[in-house]
Amino acid sequence: MGKRAAVLAAFFFAFLPYNIYFTRVILPEPMATTFALASLWLFVKFLDREKLG
């Protein structure tokens, strides 16, 4: 690896259509992801609390 590999990786990252497409697809959903992770975390905390009591 080295500078040549870094330049090649940056080129592929910048110009691959899949990267551009999936970056645009995932952007509208940050709030849904945040709430899903928060609800999962609270559910796990609820299950742990039930085990202790």
According to the model, what pLDDT value does residue 36 have? 87
CA pair distance 50, 21, nearest whole angstrom:
43
According to the model, what pLDDT value does residue 47 have? 85
| Residues 1-53: tens digit of each pLDDT | 789 889 888 888 887 777 667 666 655 677 888 888 899 999 988 888 867 65
User: Which of 29, 28, 26, 8 has the alpha carbon at shortest distance from 18?
Assistant: 26
